[in-house]
Amino acid sequence: MAREKKPVKTAFAEYLAERPAAPLDEAEFEELSRRFPSSSRSYLRKLVRDSGAPLAPLVEGVRQETLDELQRTLLALEQEYARAVDRGDLPRQQACRRAVIEAKDHARWALRRAGATPGQRKAREEAIEWMRVWLENPPVFEEWARLRRARVELG
């Protein structure tokens, strides 16, 4: 009788239970991609995000569920980008930019999606603006976000 294969979600949970509590970095995420080749990278990213395990900025990516999450993850990517600039690590800088570009493109897709409520549209437009500013000038993003938050919360 053939052995039944475990669902990816179950196997992933077992993997997380066995690993150290250190942040899950890009190398480990690549290992997960090899370990679970039938799962898409976006599904694996969802599993790691939902797991509650600490994540490296490029693994976590840009979270858009709330403005707080958007700001937190963009700031983490800005810090990662700044370290890459200091080291002259152009591929790492490009990886940070690519993560924000992909998130912005996803937000634009969600904005065009049929059935979005006016509130959802406004939130997506705001998120797109935040990512656009980050892409234009990552070093000024933190100060811009602080000022923008004050304006959004007052408005």
- Secondary structure of the chain as H, E, C letters: CCCCCCCHHHHHHHHHHHCCCCCECHHHHHHHHHHCCCCCHHHHHHHHHHHCCCECHHHHCCCCCCHHHHHHHHHHHHHHHHHHHHHCCHHHHHHHHHHHHHHHHHHHHHHHCCCCCHHHHHHHHHHHHHHHHHHHCHHHHHHHHHHHHHHHHHC
pLDDT for 2 equals 47
- Does residue 7 have a pLDDT over 50? yes
- Rounded to two decimals, the pTM is 0.85
pLDDT for 141 equals 97
- Over residues 17-50, the pLDDT tens digits come to 888 878 899 999 999 899 888 888 888 888 888 8
For the chain, give every domain's residue range.
8-57, 63-154
